Amino acid sequence: MLTLQFIPYSQISSLGPEERIKKILSLVKQEKIILLEGRLKQQEEADLIQKTMEDIDSKFTGIELSVIEPDEKDTSVYNRARKFLAKVLLGDRQGFTVVGPANIIKEIKKDPEKIQLLMKETKTGSKKKK
């Protein structure tokens, strides 16, 4: 069974970088696809990838990660300043992050209007006998 788990920003905002990474990795190792409100900081993304590489074994083959950000069409000085101030005060909540196990997710494609999450075919253990 495929499980998508949404994590609101409020659940991770009080966690430190290491705790955020541990939470995300523990859920992904349970073969859940995580939809995280906002995004991790660049260093946290790098640390998540590094920790993933350290944890790879026969059961855990890694992660697929993609950040989806809204298309910024309004570039007025007022709106840019407002968004910057909100980002500083509230954290980077623009868009969201998708993280999932590499043994389930084949590819994440994104464009301004949709996200395509391409899954790998799973092998079923039962075969019909003739």
Q: What is the pLDDT of residue 82?
A: 75
Residues of the chain with pLDDT below 50 are 125-130
Spatial separation of the C-alpha atoms in residues 36 and 93, rounded to whole Å: 10
Q: What is the pLDDT of residue 128?
A: 46
Residue 43 near residue 17, CB atoms below 8 Å? yes
Residue 12 near residue 41, CB atoms below 8 Å? no
Q: What is the pLDDT of residue 127?
A: 47
Q: What is the pLDDT of residue 126?
A: 47
Write a three-state SS string for 48-101. HHHHHHHHCCCCCCCEEEEEECCCCCCCCHHHHHHHHHHHHHHCCCCCEEEEEE
Q: What is the pLDDT of residue 96?
A: 84
Spatial separation of the C-alpha atoms in residues 48 and 65, rounded to whole Å: 10
pTM of the prediction? 0.75
